[in-house]
Structure 1
Amino acid sequence: MYRIATLLLALLLSLPAFAEAPEEGDEAVIKPTYYSLVPALVGNYGTGERLKYYKADISLKVMGPEAEAKVEHHEPLIRNQLIMLFSQQTDDTLATVEAKEALRQEALKQVRQVLEQEEGQPLVEDLLFNNLILQ
């Protein structure tokens, strides 16, 4: 009984050795990673007598750990660019789903421009609003 259990354990431990390893000619598959800007962006927007606030939880879709490290390195500049963009918004530019999508597209464009300027390539595939609260 002990021999069978030992044999089974040895077989289970050797399974990773049988896994298909990529050959030298094959390119490694790069999986997307989502880099969250933590803490969330919080600030005020609009003009008028009453202050209006936003809170935006944002994730950036990047391809691979190298791009993620570069995005993390430039996070302060990215955050500054996004805060400036949000502070310029009005009720009209945040009122509808279409307006929020236009804001998301503009935010993505500006983040990509910053990274293009700093790194020579955009690095960010997409920008997602995980949560966008307006008050």
Structure 2
Amino acid sequence: MKQTIPGLLLLLAIMLVPSSAFANNDTNTETDTSAAMPDYTYYTLAPDITTNYVTQGKRLGYLRLQVDLMLLDPSMSKLVEHHAPLIRDAIITVIGQQPEARVQSLAGREEIRQACLAKVNELLIAETNQKLVTELLFTKYLFQ
């Protein structure tokens, strides 16, 4: 009986010690990781872009897509909003030059997305002297 009482007292003492005593109280690691992580934001071009693409034959090909732009800093969204017509025109121009096979394939869609991102960044750097768009995403992609 003498053996179980000290064991119980030890268990009770461990349970009463706050868990923060065992935790790592180094708060600098939490602030360092949050400061190192960028604060991304997304800007959706509205309304959706509807345009034609090159097809073989007499019929027209239509493409409707929704474009989201990933920005490194939320403060850049005002600049992107100001340049939204330029961005839309650049995307429509790139898509208008694409053949039907590229528009309708998954690999071609990725090539178009990369070309749109490059063209948008090229124009925005010329206008604002900074790279505003980190990533360009097609969140809706419908073709006919």
Q: Is the 8 A contact 2:104 2:143 kept in 1?
A: no
Q: Structure 2 unaligned segments of length 5 or more: list them.
A: 1-26
Q: Is the 8 A contact 2:39 2:74 kept in 1?
A: no
Residue 86 of structure 1: how far off its partner (Å): 1.1
**Where is the strand percentage greater, Structure 1 or Structure 2?**
1
Q: Is the 8 A contact 2:71 2:77 kept in 1?
A: yes
SS at match of 1:132: strand
Residue 88 of structure 1: how far off its partner (Å): 1.2
CA distance in 1, matches of 2:100, 2:38: 40
- Residue identity over aligned pairs, in percent, reads 36
> Normalized against structure 1, the TM-score is what?
0.76
> Normalized against structure 2, the TM-score is what?
0.71
Task: Report the equivalent of 1:39.
Answer: 47
Residue deviations 1:29-50 (CA, integer Å, cap 9, x gap): 6410010000000011114300
Task: Report the equivalent of 2:74.
Answer: 65
RMSD of aligned Cα (Å): 2.1
Decide which structure has the larger Cα Rg and report it.
Answer: 2
Residue 65 of structure 1: how far off its partner (Å): 2.3
Aligned residues: 113
Q: Structure 1 unaligned segments of length 5 or more: list them.
A: 1-19
Task: Report the equivalent of 2:140.
Answer: 131
